[in-house]
Structure 1
Amino acid sequence: MKVCSNCFIDKELKGFISSSTENGDCEVCDSKNQQLLNVSELFDFFQELLDNFKTCPKGEPLSAKIQGNWSFFSTHSIANTILNYVLPNISTDITSSADNVEYTDDIIENINHWEVLKEELKWENRFVINIERLEDLGWDGFFNTQFKLNKDVELFRARLHHQSGLPVYKPEEMTCPPKELASGGRANPSGIPYLYLSDNQETVLYEIRASYLDELSVGTFQLKPANDSIRLVDFTEDTPLFQPNLSTINKTIKGKLLRQKISSDLSKPMRRYDSELDYIPTQFICEFIKVFTGALGIRFSSSLHPKGNNIVLFDQELMNCKMVKKVRIHSISLKEMEIK
C-alpha cells in the first residue's frame, strides 16, 4: 500500500513523505501525481507507536483514540484503512482499528500524577515537594516545546478604570503591581509578580472580564531592544506524533498529554466562588518550568477568547510598554447553556 502526504495531518510525517522520490497516485486517498511512500516503511514507527496502547474493553476505538489526541490522519476513514493494513504486519494484541484501547500503564500513571500532585500541593505539602519523583517521571524533559518571542511582536495588557472619566493610564502604570501588593494569580504566587499579556488585543478585554460600557486602558508591549528574542514554554504547540527518533515516541506522548492537562488548568477562568487554593498547582508548575528549563515565561490558550493566547513572563523588566490607549466597551455577547 502506497500513501501520500495528503493522508496525514502530522507535519513531521508529511515532510518525511514529501522527501520521497517516487511519484504517482495515492492508493488510499486517491490524490493524483503525489510523492508516495510504501506503508511498509512506516511499520517500525507504528510498532513503536502501538506499543504505547493496550486493549481495554472500557477504552475507545484505536483510530478514535489516535485521532482524538493527535489528529494524525487526514480523516477517520483513512485512519481505519491504514491502521487495518498495518496491524497484521506488526507485533501487537490489537487486531483492528475498531478495537477498544487505552494507553499503557506508565503513560496513565504519568498523566494521573498531575491530579495527585494538585491534591498534595493544596492539602498536604506545599513548600517541600518530592522533585525526585517528578524527575523519575521525566517531567523535567516534558517542557521543551518552546517558541521564540521576537522583539517585533506586539503583546497587550489591559487595566480596568473603576470610574468613568479617568485619564488613560501611563505606560509605567500598565506593568505589574509592586511585589508587596501582588496577589496570587493563575501563574504567580502572592508577592512574586509576573507580567500577564495576550497576543490579541481583543483577548485582554475578555481576560479582565470587561463589561458593557466599562472604560479601560490597553497597553502595547514589546521586548526591550537589548533582547532580540526570548524563549517561552509553549502549551499551545501541536506536537507531532511522528518522530524520526523512534525511541522518543513514548516521551512525546507523555509530554503532550501532560501539557494538555496543565494547559487546561492554566486556561481555566476563576469563578467568583472558587478558592485561591486552586491556583497553587499551576503556580508550582510555572516555578518548576522557570527552574528546570531556563525559559522566561509560558504561552497558553485563552479559554475566554479562543482566538487568542495568553503569555506570562516571569520578569516584567524584559518588556517595554510603548503606548497606551483608552477604550470603552460598546457591545458584549454572552451565551448560556442549561445545567442539569
Structure 2
Amino acid sequence: MKCCVHCFKDSEIIAVVEATKAIGTCDFCGHEHTAVYEISSNTILTELFEGFLDIYSVVEDLPSEYPDERKALLCECLFRDWTLFSSNPEAIQKLMIAICNDKYLAQPELFESQVGIAEYCNPQYLEHNAILKTYSWQKFVDDIKRNNRFHTNFVNREVLKAFVRCVRKTYVPAEVFYRARICPNLKGFKKSEMGAPPAHRVNAGRANPEGVQVLYLSNTEKTTLHEICAGMYDYVSIGTFRLLKQIEVINLAEIDVVSPFIANSLLDIDYVQYAVNQDVLRKMRAEIAKPLRRHDSTLDYLPTQYISDFIKSLGFDGIEYTSTMSEEGRNLAVFKESVFHCTKTKVLDIKAIEYEYDVVSKRA
C-alpha cells in the first residue's frame, strides 16, 4: 500500500516520503500523481512510528489517578495532540495499522483501546522534564504577575532552552521588513524617526518591559497596518527596513509544531518529554501573538516578556511570532535595532477598513 505527502503535516515524515522519489496514487487519501511511499518495501516510517508509539500505554497500565480527559483511542490522541497528520482519526487509524502492522499484530489493544502517556501524572518526571514543572500555564501567569516577577521558580530553564533552540531561524543581510506609525499629517515621519522610540518613551510591549528598546517589524506592509490598528482617514508612515548583518532569531510561531522526530534525533528531546510539554508550547505560541484589547492591562505582557528576555539572555537577536491581526502575517521583535537600517518611507492615506465580528451577547 502507498501513502503520500498529503497524508502528513510533519516536515520530517514528508521529507522521508519525498526521498523515495516515487510518484503514484495514494491508497489512503486518493491523491494522484504525487510523491508516494510504498509501505511494504520501505522501513523508515515503520521504524520511526514504532518508536514513537512506545510512549503510549493502554488504560489498564496507567496510574489510577490518570485524568479521564487525557484518555482516548490512539488515533484520537495522534489527531488531537500532534501535528503529524493531515487526515481525521479514522484515516490515521488505517495509516498506523498499515505502517506499524507488526506492532498491531503483537499489540492490537494499543490501537483499539483507550491509551495515555503515564508521565503526564508523574510529578517527579515533570519536575525535571517539563518546562513549567508541575505547574499549568495559568499558574505560571498568575505567579509572574502577582508573586515573583523576575525570579520565578516555576520554569525549568534548561528544558525551555532546549525547546527554543528547536526553532532557531537565520536571516541574512538584505532581508526586508516593514514598520508603520500613525502620523499627524501627510508629511509623515523621516527615516530617522521610524525606529524604536527612545528609552525614556518606550512603553511595555509583548517582547519588552517599559524602558527597554525593541524594534518591532512585520514581514509585509499590510501586516504593519493591521498591527497598529490604523483607522479610516489616518495617515500612516511605512518604513522599509533592510537587514545589515546576519541574525539568528527564535521563531515562536512554530514552537509547537516542530517535528518530534527532528527534536529527538538532533536535539535529544525524547518523545515523552515533547509530549508533556505540548500544552505549554501551544500556550506560549498563542500568548506571544495575542493582541491586547484597549482596556487590558500591560501586566498581561509579563509572561511573554519573561520568555523574550530569556531568549535574549541566550544570545539570540530577536523573536518571530504570528500576527493575529493579519492573515499569514509574521512579526519580528529585534533586540538591537542597529542591525536594521530604514532605507525609505512613504505615507499612506487610509481610505477604508473592513470589520469582521461575532455576536457574543444580546440584551433586550
TM over 0.5: yes
Of 292, 315, 328, the match for 1:307: 328
User: Which residue is 1:289 aligned to?
Assistant: 311
Q: Distance in 2 between matches of 1:53 and 1:68?
A: 14
Q: Distance in 1 between matches of 2:22 and 2:346?
A: 57
Higher helix proportion, which one? 2
Of 112, 137, 160, the match for 1:139: 160
TM alignment of 1:322-333, pairs within 5 A: 322-333=343-354
Write the letter of the residue equivalent to 2:305.
Q
Q: Distance in 1 between matches of 2:47 and 2:269?
A: 11
User: Which residue is 2:191 aligned to?
Assistant: 171
1:127 aligns with 2:150: yes
Write the letter of the residue equivalent to 2:168.
Q
User: Which residue is 1:236 aligned to?
Assistant: 253
Q: Using a 3 Å threshold, how does the CA distance of structure 1 residues 18 and 272 change in structure 2: closer, same or farther?
A: closer
1:268 aligns with 2:290: yes
Return the offset for 1:4.
Answer: 4.3
Using CA pairs under 8 Å that are at least 6 residues apart, name the structure with larger relative contact order, 1 or 2.
Answer: 1
Write the letter of the residue equivalent to 1:155.
F
1:283-317 alpha-carbon deviations (Å, 9 max, x no partner):
1100111113x210011101111221111001111
User: Which residue is 1:58 aligned to?
Assistant: 69
Return the offset for 1:253.
Answer: 4.2
1:116 aligns with 2:128: no
Q: Using a 3 Å threshold, how does the CA distance of structure 1 residues 103 and 196 change in structure 2: closer, same or farther?
A: farther
User: Which residue is 1:156 aligned to?
Assistant: 178
Partner of 1:242, secondary structure, is: helix
- Matched-pair contact (CA < 8 Å) for 2:188–2:235: no
- Matched-pair contact (CA < 8 Å) for 2:130–2:273: no
User: Which residue is 1:320 aligned to?
Assistant: 341
Return the offset for 1:141.
Answer: 0.6
Partner of 2:75, secondary structure, is: helix
- Matched-pair contact (CA < 8 Å) for 1:52–1:104: no
Partner of 1:330, secondary structure, is: coil
User: Which residue is 2:217 aligned to?
Assistant: 197
User: Which residue is 1:10 aligned to?
Assistant: 10
Q: Distance in 2 between matches of 1:99 and 1:71?
A: 20
Uncovered stretches (5+) of structure 1, i.e. residues with no partner: none
User: Which residue is 1:258 aligned to?
Assistant: 280
Return the offset for 1:152.
Answer: 2.4
1:82-109 alpha-carbon deviations (Å, 9 max, x no partner):
224436246696332x846578416796
Q: Using a 3 Å threshold, how does the CA distance of structure 1 residues 26 and 279 change in structure 2: closer, same or farther?
A: closer
Return the offset for 1:25.
Answer: 6.4
Return the offset for 1:7.
Answer: 3.4
Return the offset for 1:254.
Answer: 5.3
Q: Percent identity?
A: 26
Return the offset for 1:69.
Answer: 4.5
Q: Distance in 1 between matches of 2:170 and 2:106?
A: 39
- Matched-pair contact (CA < 8 Å) for 1:214–1:329: yes
- Matched-pair contact (CA < 8 Å) for 2:322–2:331: yes
Partner of 1:63, secondary structure, is: helix
Q: Using structure 2 for the length normalisation, give the TM-score.
A: 0.79
Q: Using structure 1 for the length normalisation, give the TM-score.
A: 0.84
Q: Distance in 1 between matches of 2:222 and 2:139?
A: 36
Q: Distance in 1 between matches of 2:10 and 2:340?
A: 35
Q: Distance in 2 between matches of 1:84 and 1:196?
A: 47
1:80 aligns with 2:101: no
After superposition, the CA RMSD in angstroms is 3.1
